[in-house]
Amino acid sequence: MRSARRPRQFFLLVVDVGMLLLCLFVALLLRHRAVPSQELWWSLVTSFLPSWFVWIISFYTADLYNIEREFDDLRFAGRLFGAVAVGGLFSALIFYLDNKNTNPKTILALYAGSLFAVLWLWRFSYARLSRRYLPKRATAFVGIDETVAELIAEIETRDRLGYEAAAFLDEKGTAPAALKARVLRSRELFLKAVQERGVSLVVVTDESGLSEKTRRALLDLIDRPVRFIRLPDFYEHYLRKIPVGTINDLWFLENIDLTGKARYRIVKRAFDIGLSLLALAVCLAPSVLIALGIKLSGRGPVLFRQERLGRAGLRFQILKFRTMKVDGNTFAPTEERDPRVTAFGSFLRAFLLDEIPQVLNILVGEMSFIGPRPERPELVAELERAIPYYRQRLLVKPGIAGWDQVSGEYHSPSVEDTYKKLQYDLYYIKNMSVLLDFSIFFKTIMTMLGRKGR
């Protein structure tokens, strides 16, 4: 199913690039109070071109291309201001390092100011107009259960993604109480609603459980502009996670192709080695200061070691900077606002600085920068019994940052939250790519800057 996000994200990117060009013209106009000559214009475009890549990366890192977020509130203005400030600082650094570049500071300041104003006005207008005029795809559901109810609630609260829950068929009477007043038990009424509401997408919950009459009724829609999709596929497309409760063994055989990812694994390993060597060089001095802070915060070693399970269930010792008190510590899974975490440890966790020693795990190939978080063997054994397909997350190397960590949700070690984490982990395993890894990488930077912690 074609993603509804990417065309809009690409549209935002194209317009933003246009704004980068426009604001350079505006800055020159304000600076010289006259229309700039073509020669001056192109000379500055050439000078600013390297810095524009930094601006775009800064915008992406600040979540400015996440269409699920608001573009017309104060939080967006704050993210935009931060992205423009970071882009401006890097641009100034690029100009400073380029001895041949004589761009005046005034033009860069005017450029950054006009860019913030123009981008805010454009995104504000886009948000208001798209919310009001952007057409929504009418969607019908055949078979209603808790997973469908979750989807419908998301569709009705995340209206910016362009779907509308228009009709529901529940011939088995299994719909949750909150939806019973809205569902239809009659196939005839359902087909009529599909026609009247202009439904173009039908989501089928359990195709194997459909009655013969329902199958024939759905076949009557074949000559209409209606597309059919299975619930797991629509759920994945819309929420970017896998509905664990609705998949089976066949789903894994159809959707997980690790042998086809050979080139991707080579690129990822090269990236892991290169970035881990760079991180070791950059983090050497900060690590000394962190070690001193840990020693001053209480008794115990600087490094924390614990056995974890890696790819294919191989055991390894994960390394972290110690963030907890040693006295009275049962080493049970960490909880939100855990009293065992020291004040300095809380600071390290907020910025993910406690993960720095794991660079050594990555360098020797036990972990990767991007992947599901590794768990303790005893917890994996326990969770395997409670959650279906939990062990399948061991199909790939564990990582420092994962799709779950950048989902915007806090997940505790409870079985219920681990179930939710698995939904994100399976999405990553199915869709892992260089592009998705870079997306997680930059979203992790945003998480660190936003002090969301974990």
Closest by CA position to 183, among listed 164, 168, 166, 204: 168
Give all domains of the chain, ordered by start, each with its CATH number: 5-133 (no CATH), 137-239 (3.40.50.720), 259-449 (no CATH)
Residue 298: pLDDT band (50, 70, 90) is: confident
Residue 88: pLDDT band (50, 70, 90) is: confident
Extract the tokens encoding 370.
């991007």
pLDDT score of 453: 40
* DSSP-based three-state secondary structure for 196: helix
Q: What share of the chain is helix, strand, coil (3-state, %, to 5)?
A: 60, 10, 30
Each residue of 46-84: pLDDT tens digit? 888 888 888 898 898 888 998 878 888 888 999 899 889
pLDDT at position 321 over 90: yes
pLDDT score of 370: 96
Extract the tokens encoding 295.
């020693």
What is the phi-psi region of residue 328: left when phi exceeds 0, alpha when psi lies from -120 to 50, beta otherwise? left
Give the count of beta carbons closer than 10 Å to the beta carbon of residue 10. 11
Considering just the CA atoms, what is the radius of gyration of the chain in Å?
Answer: 26
Give percent above pLDDT 70 in the chain: 95
Residue 454: pLDDT band (50, 70, 90) is: very low
Each residue of 379-432: pLDDT tens digit? 999 999 999 999 999 999 999 999 998 887 777 778 888 999 999 999 999 999
User: Which string of DSSP letters, residue by residue, matches 325-392?
Assistant: -STT---PPP-TT-TTB-HHHHHHHHTTGGGTTHHHHHHTTS-EEESPPP--HHHHHHHHHHSTTGGG
pTM, entire model? 0.83
Each residue of 404-415: pLDDT tens digit? 988 877 777 788
Q: How far apart are alpha carbons 446 and 406 in whole angstroms?
A: 9
